[in-house]
């Protein structure tokens, strides 16, 4: 009887130990699974946050300014270098220089068959003739070389915007009536003192206008190309709003000492290049 009692107690103790071990193992497994679920949830939350951040970043990068928004900044042009080239059947040449609108100053050189350097303001014109500076005009407005900063709304609506390495580009390419009229005025404006068809005996073919902006949407360059049959031309405006112009004192003094200058001749004649 005692042996049976001892055996029963031993069996009970073993059973209790096994049950306890099983519970502990189950608890450990449950705890492990619970921790695993928590980790997975945390990872899931982190991944979702990453996805949201990436999505927001992509949305920001993909946002493109409108043509109108960019072209409104073209009016900020005040100064820049220019390079204008004409290659027509009856006229060839190019002019290079820099133009400033306020205060009005233009410094340029004719390079198409005539080598000459000129400084102009709203009041004075200084021309280098040979090795001497001469003041050749007063109250004189030299309207040439101005870029196209007043683009008609009808033409803006035909332009397209795209990304570039440095920012954005707005481009028009075609032969619409609006661009034909605009280029006709521009070409006459920059190449002649009197009216004559810029297309000569040929018909207008096409024009490409390109306005370049940096990432801050500021204008940094303007480029024009046009053709009318075999007549062609290009114009480029660069280094925009990067410098401030003034006629050098050495030029003013040299012209003042030249007896042929208009002030020294008491000549009241005025000139106009419109």
Each residue's pLDDT tens digit, 66-123: 999 999 999 999 999 999 998 988 778 888 999 999 999 999 988 754 557 899 998 8
Burial of 171 (0-12, 13-18, 19+ CB in 10 A): middle
Dihedral sign computed on CA atoms, order 118, 245, 97, 161: negative
Give the pLDDT of residue 44: 58
Residue closest to 263 by CA, chosen among 144, 139, 142, 117:
139
Rounded Cα–Cα distance for residues 163 and 183 (Å): 25
Closest to 205 (Cα-Cα) out of 88, 49, 113? 88
Query: What confidence tier does 41 reach under pLDDT thresholds 50, 70, 90?
Result: low
Q: Are 65 and 168 in contact (CB under 8 A)?
A: yes
Q: How much is the pLDDT for 268?
A: 46
Between residues 41 and 192, the one the model is more confident about:
192
Average pLDDT over residues 222-241: 97
Strand, coil or helix: what is 273?
Answer: coil
| Mean per-residue pLDDT of the chain | 81
Instruction: Give pLDDT tens digits for 143-173.
Output: 679 999 999 999 999 999 999 998 999 999 9
Q: Where are the domains of the chain?
A: 1-63, 67-104+141-238
What is the C-alpha separation between 6 and 115, in angstroms, rounded?
127
- Is the predicted pLDDT of residue 32 greater than 80, yes or no? no
Residue, of 101 and 141, whose pLDDT is higher: 101
Contact 115, 131 (CB under 8 A): no
Whole-angstrom Cα distance, residue 114 to residue 108? 12
Quick check: 142 pLDDT over 80? no
CB 88 within 8 A of CB 104: no
The residue ranking higher by pLDDT, 65 or 19, is: 65
Which pLDDT does position 209 carry in this prediction?
A: 99
- Residue 19 pLDDT greater than 50, yes or no: no
Q: How far is Cα 94 from Cα 84, in angstroms, rounded to an integer?
A: 5
186 CB neighbour count, 10 Å cutoff: 21
The dihedral through the CA atoms of 33, 38, 41, 47 has a sign that is negative
Checking if the pLDDT of 271 tops 60, the result is: no
In terms of average pLDDT, the best of 11-25, 132-146, 255-269 is 255-269
Strand partners, 163: 168
pLDDT greater at residue 252 or residue 199: 252
220-240 exposure pattern, b = at least 16 Cβ within 10 A, e = fewer: bbbbbbbbbeebebbbbbeeb
Average confidence (pLDDT) over 208-212: 99
Could you give the residue ranges of the DSSP H alpha helices within the chain?
A: 2-62, 67-71, 153-156, 177-191, 249-256
Angle at 211 between CA 196 and CA 173, to 5 degrees: 60
Average pLDDT over residues 23-30: 54
Cα–Cα distance measured from residue 274 to residue 237, given in angstroms and rounded to the nearest whole number:
22
**What token pair was written down for 210?**
């390109």
Between the alpha carbon of residue 192 and those of residues 82, 200, 272, 274, the distances in Å are: 17, 13, 12, 9
């Amino acid at each position: 009887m005692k042996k049976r009692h001892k055996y029963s107690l031993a069996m009970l103790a073993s059973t209790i130990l096994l049950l306890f071990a099983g519970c502990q193992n189950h608890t450990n497994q449950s705890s492990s699974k619970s921790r695993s679920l928590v980790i997975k949830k945390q990872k899931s939350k982190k991944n979702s946050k990453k996805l949201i951040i990436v999505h927001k970043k992509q949305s920001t990068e993909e946002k493109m300014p409108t043509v109108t928004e960019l072209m409104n900044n073209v009016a900020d042009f005040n100064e820049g270098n220019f390079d204008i080239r004409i290659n027509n059947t009856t006229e060839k040449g190019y002019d290079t220089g820099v133009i400033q609108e306020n205060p009005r100053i233009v410094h340029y050189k004719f390079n198409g068959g005539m080598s000459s350097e000129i400084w102009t303001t709203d009041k004075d014109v200084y021309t280098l003739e040979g090795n001497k500076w001469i003041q050749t005009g007063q109250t004189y407005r030299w309207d040439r070389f101005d870029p196209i900063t007043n683009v008609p709304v009808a033409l803006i609506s035909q332009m397209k915007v795209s990304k570039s390495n440095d920012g954005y580009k707005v481009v028009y390419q075609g032969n619409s009536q609006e661009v034909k009229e605009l280029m006709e005025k521009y070409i006459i404006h920059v190449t002649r003192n009197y009216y004559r068809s810029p297309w000569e005996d040929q018909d207008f073919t096409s024009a490409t206008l390109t306005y370049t902006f940096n990432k801050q949407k500021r204008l940094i360059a303007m480029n024009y190309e046009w053709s009318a049959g075999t007549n062609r031309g290009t114009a480029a405006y660069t280094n925009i709003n990067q410098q401030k112009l003034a006629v050098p004192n050495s030029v003013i003094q040299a012209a003042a000492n030249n007896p042929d200058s208009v002030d020294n001749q008491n000549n009241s004649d005025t000139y106009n290049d419109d």
